[in-house]
Amino acid sequence: MNTPDLAAIRAQFPILSEKIYGKDLVYLDNGASAQKPRAVIDAMVHAMEHQYANIHRGLHWMSERTTDVYEQTRDLAAGLMNAASREEIIFVRNSTEAINLVAHSFGRHLLKPGQAVLISEMEHHSNIVPWQMLRDACGIELRVAPITDDGELDFPAFEALLADGKVGLVAITHMSNVLGTYLPAERVIQTAHAAGALVLLDGSQAIVHRAVDVQTLGCDFYAWTGHKLYGPTGIGVLWGRKALLEAMPPFLGGGDMISSVTFAHSEWARVPHKFEAGTPAILEGIGLGAAIKFVQNLGYDAIAAHEAALTEYGLAHIGEIPGLTIWGHAKDRGGVISFTMDGAHPHDIATLLDRQGIAVRAGHHCAEPLMRRLGLNATARASFAAYTTYGEIDALVAGLRRVREFLA
């Protein structure tokens, strides 16, 4: 990805031309939420201005046209992940809801007391709390696989936790939102399956940076969220194997997830609609479709190559700053760099960078157990996107040097 291509990509994002405190915006908080290209904005505005109506149940022109555009996103999502069929794509609000759906519908009804769910030390709260709730409600054991000091999965320990055959589900991140670590997903899945466990991957970060093929991976569930993939908030995807989804009861009850209702009994709609109760996020679904097209037009090979080079550049230059520690040194990592600075709280770092027009994240990143594992309360975090430039990393490095001088 050369500079002219990058300039053309950035031109598609109106917000990147904004000034913050009179300075050019340097947006490095993409791990929390990415900015939106013009194509996403226009798709949602067009739907509101020209064809908006509720979907699936209407027989008039507006409803039928809106339904068609919304359902095209299901096909796009299936294609993005190489799902076996569009029926395996369930629309949810975000990854959190996707994981809760699996915890409730699969965990409460298909796991048995005495079985276990296995997660890792590097999980986001959205892949911890639902399993704690399941443990407390249903007597499911919750096991936690440790990580190494470099921020990689401790694979021998992971295997040992599977050895007794009691683990029914491994629910694990595909890429850490704090350390940038990519897990060896295919090895994790093969090992889990050999021990009789199914696998859910939290792909909230991973699908943004690299191609995901669920059939090649061999996982059983895959969750991700639209707003990190250049789409709107309020829309995400749970992919699941169709046979599993058909065996699972609904997560929520209401309209559109039924085939018939009496006061005595209700019959469920077929998957995926069985899991999509009520009026969905129609405009957001349309926006997600535009975001998927945007990513596909860029191509994952180009995105991955660009971000790998950015990450290498960022690690080298940020790591040269005296008194600064980078956390996580996995061999396979994505475009996320978490760091601390001697004598500076991460919140102060983020505030002082903000005054220079540089947006980074600071805090525990919804991964408090991981912070405790690292012996920290918080880190600052810079995270990259397809539109991130080397100049923005240079600006971050210069900004961090000013922070160090200010706090010295």
Active site residues: 366
Q: CA-to-CA distance for 358 and 353, rounded, in angstroms?
A: 5
Look up residue 145 and give its two tokens: 């696989």
User: What is Dmax (Cα atoms) for the chain?
Assistant: 72
Q: 3-state class of 268 per DSSP? A: strand
- Quick one: how far is CA 328 from the chain centroid? 19
Q: Quick check: 188 and 172 in contact, CB under 8 A?
A: yes
d(CA 370, CA 366) in angstroms, rounded, equals 9
Question: Which amino acid does the sequence have at 386?
Answer: A
Is 214 strand, coil or helix?
helix
HSE-CB for 327 with a 13 A CA cutoff? 24
Ordered alpha helix ranges (H), 163-205 = 185-194
Sign of CA dihedral 251, 252, 253, 257: negative
Contacts with 287 (C-beta within 8 Å, 6 or more apart), sequence order? 36, 40, 41, 43, 44, 226, 231, 232, 235
Burial of 74: CB neighbours in 10 Å, binned 0-12, 13-18, 19+: buried
Contact 104/133 with Cβ under 8 angstroms?
no
Distance CA 263, CA 360 (A): 53
Q: What is the spatial distance between Cα 335 and Cα 307, in angstroms, rounded to a whole number?
A: 6
Q: Would you say 184 and 194 are in contact if contact means Cβ atoms under 8 Å apart? A: no
Both tokens assigned to 389? 């430039």
